[in-house]
Structure 1
Amino acid sequence: MHPAKAPRPLGERARLRRSHLLEVARTLFIEQGFHQTGIAQIATASGIAVGQMYRDFESKEAIIAAICEADVEAWLEEKALADAVAAQDLDAIRAWLERFGTRDQPEDRCRLVAEIVAEAGRNPRVADIYRQVDARVRQSLSAALAALAPDGISAKHVAAVAEYILTLGAGAVCRRIVHPQQCAEQIDRFVDAAIFNDLEHLLRENRQLLDGEGIEGNQARCIGRLKGKR
């Protein structure tokens, strides 16, 4: 048997065509929603024939996957972080983490993220795409946190802090969509205080709470303190 041929690299014309198609699809997904946008609409808006579109992307889900791949690759800078972790360059790791926490994302990108999450609830293929992206983000964030964590901090605890950061970050994105002007500044201050200003404390303390142990007891203590302030 002859060995399988490696895929030929895209020519410049094909690369530009695919890039144009992805940008048009991105705009339509934001404006109309993934569920309401059809391949024919993308073809009409982009000026690319349906047949050619299917040669580039086998489905709408493949278009979403390509958009996510491009965005995550540009945002995460995975190689730069991996090099910094390997070299134990703590300043570079801190700089990566600060950039990771920046929330000056344009509103349309936040809306696209929300649209993908909504579609993941009814489309298993999109859900799988989202899980793959989420895993990459979690892996990079956990690697940065582990490199900065004090000695003796378990991988389980680092993973819990990463999940805490991702959960608050996702909530902040949703709040910014609903209140793009009114509370954006307040949201940023809250997330900064809750995550990045207290990062050392999170990595050192609250191990039982963040590791999922003793949560009910902690809730009872918090409620008791609040009742005592009446």
Structure 2
Amino acid sequence: MVAAQHEKNGKARILAAARALFNSRGFHQTAMAELATAAQVSVGQIYRLFKSKEDIIEALVHDDADEWCEKLAALQARLDSGELTVDQTFEQLMLQTIDEKDEALSFDIMAESFRNSEVADTIGAMCERFRIYIRYFACSANPDLSGEALDAAEDMLLACLFGLGHRSISRPSLSATIAGKRAAQMIVTALRGVR
């Protein structure tokens, strides 16, 4: 039991250190020895828990996907209970996206997905999980959406979420709150206008 807890703690420290180092220095620029020092573990322990840096990236993506799906499920529950309107749900969704952390790490992971099919598959699986919620939200805005229109709405919403999650690089002039609110208004208006 103590060994399992020690392994769990080591894994958590490695992932936290990897997130910080990969975000500040980059995935390829971070050596395993640096990661071991930051996580206060040995390089050997890293390799006992992860086969490679790519495995660490995949674990970070899985953790982020789990966290995002929890947030999306909570938004859906609030929408279903009547606590939030459709407009408020989209506003919350946009704000959660804009407030996303680790923007540089996210870019590094996306770049790695073009070089590494396993990382690409992990990101694809993450997006599949998101698509379930996104389709639900799109249909909440326009119950008549189906077929190609619903598929296009899903793709457009994913693109908006990815874009808003990385908006700081464009030096935006609007605050996150205003950008989230306006983006939500535009998206809901567009969804409702599809016939």
Q: TM-score, normalised by structure 2?
A: 0.79
| Distance (whole Å) between structure 2 residues aligned to residue 184 and residue 13 of structure 1 | 46
Return the offset for 1:174. 3.2
8 Å Cα contact 1:39/1:50 also seen in 2: yes
Residue 168 of structure 2 corresponds to: 176
The 3 A distance-change label for structure 1 pair 151 and 105 is: closer
- Greater fraction helix: 2
3-state SS of paired residue (1:101): helix
Separation in structure 1 between the aligned mates of residue 111 and residue 100 of structure 2, nearest angstrom: 19
Matched residues, percent identical? 28
- Write out aligned runs for 1:75-86 (5 A): 75-77=68-70, 79-80=73-74
Aligned to 1:201: 189
> Aligned runs of 1:1-230 on 2, under 5 Å?
11-77=4-70, 79-80=73-74, 88-91=80-83, 94=86, 97-102=90-95, 103-106=98-101, 109-146=102-139, 148-179=140-171, 183=172, 185=174, 189=178, 192-193=181-182, 195-206=183-194
The alpha-carbon distance between structure 1 residues 83 and 105, as it changes in their structure 2 partners (threshold 3 A), is closer
Matched residues in 1 for 2:188 and 2:141: separation?
8
Rg larger for: 1
**Aligned residue pairs, count:** 190
Which stretches in structure 2 are left out of the alignment for 5+ residues? none
CA distance in 2, matches of 1:171, 1:89: 29
Check conservation: 1:169, 1:191, Cα contact below 8 A. Answer: no
Deviations 1:131-183 (A, max 9, x none): 2222222222212222x14443214323322321221232233331352xxx2
**TM-score, length-normalised on structure 1?**
0.68
**Deviation at 1:116?**
0.8
Q: CA RMSD in A?
A: 2.9
Divergent runs of 4+, >6 A: none
Q: Relative contact order, CA 8 A, sep 6+: which one is greater?
A: 2
- d(CA) in 1 for partners of 2:9, 2:25: 24
